[in-house]
Amino acid sequence: MKNILVSDIMTREPVTVSPDTNLLECAKLMVKKDVGSLLITDKQRLVGFISQRDILWALTKKLQDLEKVHAIEISPKKIATIKPDAEIKEAIEKMKRLKFEKLPVILDNKLVGVITAKDILNFHPEVYPEIEEFSKIREESEKLRRIKKAEKRHDGICEECGHDGILFRVNGMLVCESCKDSM
């Protein structure tokens, strides 16, 4: 397991947008691809980065129509990157130091992939116990996402006990609150 390189486990086709993509299109793409951020590229050259948080900031601070703001306009000017021939240990240390969950991978000034904490954990989680905090953060956010999805309310008759009222979708069934709590 020695000398594992970033290129060995990176995601080779990250989700990207062009600099002139508007924020509404960015938000729609994030939802469609189920990602929290996008890399901004111009002819394979990394020129920016945009996250859900950046879009929310623009929506609340700039108070502008998301269709009128381009991704590059709110992207940070400096972006932390890593080379594909860097060792995973270096990527982990950089992620920890910067408190990032992902780093764009650059070779000859071109974007060739992205390395994420998830990529590292999926590859061999027990090898890198020092990034356990990344997995805990991801695990908690996944739990919250599943709970929010599961708790969409409906009116009707509980499929478990027959009670009429507000229902919640749990494990593919519509159940009342008391049945939900006992599941």
Tell me: do 90 and 42 sit in the same domain: yes
Tell me the pLDDT band of 1, cut-offs 50, 70 and 90: very low
Token pair in block for residue 89:
């240990």
Separation between Cα atoms, residue 183 and residue 172, nearest integer Å: 12
pLDDT of residue 54 exceeding 60, the answer is yes
Same domain for 170 and 129, yes or no, is: no
Q: What is the pLDDT of residues 71-113, one digit of tens each?
A: 999 998 889 999 999 998 899 899 989 888 899 999 999 999 9
In a domain, 1, yes or no: no
Q: Give the CA distances from residue 183 to residues 141, 143, 171, 174, 177, in Å, rounded to whole numbers and listed in that order.
A: 21, 16, 9, 12, 10
Please tell me the least confidently modeled range out of 15-19, 72-76, 126-130, 137-141: 126-130
Mean pLDDT of 137-164: 70
Domain that holds residue 71: 6-143
Burial class (CB in 10 A: 0-12, 13-18, 19+), 142: exposed
When divided into structural domains, the chain yields a total of: 2
Predicted pLDDT at 60: 81
Weakest mean pLDDT among 57-61, 62-66, 96-100: 62-66
pLDDT of residue 141: 64
Tell whether 22 and 60 lie within a shared domain: yes
- Give 155 or 170, the one with higher predicted confidence: 170
Residues 70 and 160 grouped into a single domain: no
CATH classification of the domain holding 51: 3.10.580.10
Helix/strand number for the chain, H first, E second: 8, 8
Residue 67's H or E segment, with its range, is none
Q: Are residues 25 and 99 in the same domain?
A: yes
Cα torsion angle, 169, 172, 176, 179, sign = negative
| Domain match, 120 and 162 both | no
Q: Are residues 137 and 156 in the same domain?
A: no
**C-alpha atoms less than 13 angstroms from C-alpha of 144 in its C-beta half-sphere:** 6
Please state, in angstroms and as integers, the Cα–Cα distance from residue 85 to each residue in 64, 104, 112, following that order. 42, 13, 12
In a domain, 32, yes or no: yes
